[in-house]
Structure 1
């Protein structure tokens, strides 16, 4: 248990020049029913004054539970985990990136499960939210349950897919003694590599109260600062996954035994097939939308044509009546 002056949970938010998203995340964190936490907002090379003004705007909600940190030069995503984590003390760690959100009972139910079971890590039932940002407004387009088929989590499955997206995962700070911190040399997917090390020593359990507790927001149509790295047109995720797979495999070869390298590369192959299927599904969905759109245009064109025909017939009838009337005279 934590001491009287030490919060039970450290909530870590990485941000850089995404005020519209950061504002949503501040509301998400500070509308929690569980309030024994410190919220560390780590501004990794973004506009310092703008973030300070935004946090000040919500002083009535944050109630002194925010610690603002600023780095003039961006240090990268995993340094943006380690620096704020090490800057405070707490019993548990929760990552709340600036573009994601929580159900108000997230912290309450996650802490309760950790207390009850004494496991070192838990993952919340999560929904994936598809959205887009334009004209400084967020528009929700669709949603689905993220990996609904997983009720239990295995290390083997983790090699194929990262089921522990940061917004859904909470764990005990004490694991750093065995697991270590986030690897700052990894520019993309460092959170995944951390969970792979975590599961080498500890199991993870699922918290599912019958509704989603975490919301993983994705913006396939946005790029740049407002986009998601998984939809980066440069395919940096694929590049770094491959580098990670190569690193693990080299470590296996040096040891002269099969281990993480073999399993990760098997998972990499499965993941590549999954991406191909997702791309095919996306194209089918786009074609289906185009067909529906064309069908609607054709249908409306037919209706318009019928209207023109009716109007022409009426005009001919009126003309015929006038001609007949003249003939009778």
Structure 2
């Protein structure tokens, strides 16, 4: 089989079953991992493999969770990569990608879950749309809390419900879909490279920008089939990465934008961005001054009205 420099089969080449590779990153969260594997094994679609990347966590705990998977056939389709020490979430993602064999890939974080029809619907879509590089499910945020050793759901809300499609123009501002909702062709990595493992966070946003710059994506359906679990105020192992590493998200968001700006300036010169920087800043100043003038005029009118009433 022809292979790329990343060890990934080129698109169009025959691939062996299973068709879907599911990468699950985890570290010392056996309760979450157990729920994630229940989400995987509950899928109506059966042609899958799961690669659990244990990023420096307790190996025995991970093994116990996998041993507890009910059906032997399911257990046989779960492989484990153990890191001796924590190497980071995007190094772990890449380890799973490089170990995968499926035509399609998806990252299933250990604290998220799917509707049982997610893989069936997503693979069906990609089979019927060979021109598409992947497909995004609508995503529902599930707010939950830990209580007496189990997770209790508090509420649900759809993530980015106002969007008609996962567009590059929207994603330039911030990430509009998280890994649990994105099934894509594994061959994308041969073209775009692996996840940037120098980023401790926002590696998915960085990859999504590259994917959307290559071509458009669509939503799979109107109803959410992917569930992004979050816990308000949670710390330590129970925290979601977005909330638990908020300062890192801000710092590496800025780094990605700065590097993209440098590439633009190197290729096109600084003229346009210099002009736009001043133009946009001046427009903000004009708007601020206009608001202040309206407030001052309104305040003056109120003072005049009060004096008239006193007379």
Which interval holds the TM-score relative to the shorter structure?
Answer: 0.7 to 0.9
Correspondence for 1:248: 260
Q: Aligned residue for 2:111?
A: 99
The yes-or-no answer on 1:129 pairing with 2:136 is no
1:127 counterpart SS class: strand
Q: Mind listing any 5+ residue stretches in structure 2 that lack a counterpart?
A: 1-11, 278-311
* Separation in 2, partners of 1:13, 1:234: 22
C-alpha contact (below 8 Å) 1:22/1:99 kept by paired residues? yes
Alignment partner of 1:58 out of 69, 75, 82: 69
Q: 1:204 aligns with which of 214, 217, 238?
A: 217
Partner Cα separation in structure 2 for residue 156 and residue 50 of structure 1:
43
CA separation of 1:30 and 1:144: change in aligned 2, threshold 3 A:
same
CA distance in 2, matches of 1:116, 1:13: 27
Mapped contact 2:22–2:49 kept (Cα < 8 A):
yes
1:139 and 2:152 correspond: yes
Distance 1:128 1:4, change over 3 A: same
Q: Distance in 2 between matches of 1:163 and 1:58?
A: 33
**SS of residue matched to 1:46:** coil
After superposition, the C-alpha distances for 1:238-285 in whole angstroms (9 at most, x for unaligned) are 122122222222222222358xx99xx9xxxxxxxxxxxxxxxxxxxx
Note the 1:83-232 alignment, pairs <5 A: 83-118=95-130, 119-208=132-221, 210-232=222-244
Residue aligning to 2:301: none
Q: Secondary structure of 2:262's partner? A: helix
Contact kept in structure 1, 2:104 and 2:184, CA below 8 Å = yes
Show structure 1 runs of 5+ residues with no match.
Answer: 266-329
Q: Structure 1 segments of 4 or more deviating over 3 A?
A: 1-5
The aligned runs of 1:13-24 (5 Å cut-off) are: 13-24=24-35
Give the alignment of 1:21-40 within 5 angstroms: 21-40=32-51
Rg comparison, structure with higher value: 1
Aligned residue number for residue 69 of structure 1? 81
Q: Distance in 2 between matches of 1:17 and 1:196?
A: 30
